[in-house]
Structure 1
């Protein structure tokens, strides 16, 4: 991991990843994406990490992709195409909960990053948008797909075709943001929520996330079948038996993730 551009810290079972490119408004470039992909791969293998929070330093989540790298992106796309092992693939396949703590701007790739997370907490003055059409481009990391799933056709088309951002309150009302909080408190709130999630059965949380995301890619009938399979895996687990015993004994459960 490149510590200069990505800071990784731990708070109990929660890992906090902070984008640290303040002079570039925390914009995304290949070096940062590679560092984030490597760190997520490490956290995926670490059984002591049960949830992840992604944020940016200096009150700025991420102003988007590094525009200066567009020529490199054009050349790479023509020669090799996108790598299957890209950061976006790693994030989309990450089984543990990921919460985005958005302060300031989340534009372009920054908005796509937030939308790719499971939950978004935003400071009240945050702005989320996909302004790529203003420079003759479109979102290329899932923005046209995930945003329309989150906010519906009408809102998504307005965002995508005008390039105008949503305020934090508008994004919350539309369904892109889960909660709006006072400026400067998004990271603390996201970490607290991640810690609350980490108190639950790790296996059940993973299965719930998997079943919910499956709903976005299949029919209702297929989604219900997938949910049923995950349900039976959950109720036959040691965590389920421990949760039941703890509830009946009126004590806190001691989950093992098995």
Structure 2
């Protein structure tokens, strides 16, 4: 794995840290492929349950590396989007731990995550219009699905960043913590999620993510098909048995 990305395992949680603080963790091709490889590892591992995406040096990410772009590099991965996660997010939960700035492509990575923990001084923004560009990596498309449309349009059309507190009021951020504590709080959340049945967690995420695109009747139909393998799984039997026997469950993901 490149030094531009540091991937560490904390028990059953995989922490993916963009490690280009000298460039405000700007996204180039090396970072993009590293993130994609890490989330592939997360999804393919029987041991790993949850991922945390963060940035080193007090910044989440300032977005695409424009110098790399001029050299012909792009952080887009064909068919998978920015860093391989905006079009095809991982099947397992991914938590963003945000310190400092999450701007442009950095915010689009946040939108690919399921839960967001932010430091109090963190700032979130989509400044593309200030450069006569469009937030085409998912910002314009996904932000109005994540927060109320009026707030999304204000962010997208002004290009001005918002504070963590304001992002939390919009519903973009789940928890606001003191500066320097975002990763620790994200790990607390990750470990809480990791205690649950992994198959049930993955399918619950799939349903919750897809429901915004389903009609009322389609949602019930699709959900029934997705739930059936879960309720007939070994883990479902184990969960009920563990509850009856008053012991911690032993999940297998099957």
Q: What's the TM-score bracket when you normalise by the shorter of the two chains? A: over 0.9
**SS at structure 1 position matched to 2:213:** coil
- Given that residues 37 and 86 in structure 1 are in contact (C-alpha distance below 8 angstroms), is that contact kept between their aligned partners in structure 2? no
Figure out how many residues of one structure are paired with residues of the other and give that number: 252
Q: Could you say what the CA RMSD is over the residues aligned between the two structures, in angstroms?
A: 1.8
Q: Which residue of 2 aligns with 1:218?
A: 214
CA displacement at 1:31 relative to structure 2: 1.6
Give the deviation of 1:85 after TM superposition. 4.7
Instruction: Choose 124-133 or 84-93, whichever is displaced more.
Output: 84-93
Show the counterpart of 2:122. Answer: 126
Cα deviation per residue 1:70-128 (whole Å; 9 max; x = unaligned)? 4456x98xxxx972255554452410100000011000000010011111100111100
What are the Cα deviations for residues 146-190 of structure 1, in whole angstroms up to 9, with x where unaligned?
Answer: 111111210010000000111101111111111111111100110
Distance in 2 (CA, whole Å) between partners of 1:191 and 1:162 is: 33
1:116 match: 112
Q: Normalized against structure 2, the TM-score is what?
A: 0.94
Corresponding position of 1:32 = 31
Over 3 Å off, 4+ runs:
69-73, 85-91
What is aligned with 2:154?
A: 158
Secondary structure of the residue aligned to 1:154 is helix
Alignment of 1:1-258 (within 5 A): 1-2=1-2, 4-72=3-71, 83-90=78-85, 92-258=88-254
SS at match of 1:215: helix
User: How far, CA to CA, are the matches of 2:239 and 2:80 in structure 1?
Assistant: 37
Q: CA–CA distance in 2 between the matches of 1:46 and 1:240?
A: 20
Q: Scaled by the length of structure 1, what TM-score is found?
A: 0.92
Q: Which runs of 5+ in 2 are unaligned?
A: none
Cα 1:235–1:82, aligned 2, differ >3 Å: closer, same or farther?
closer
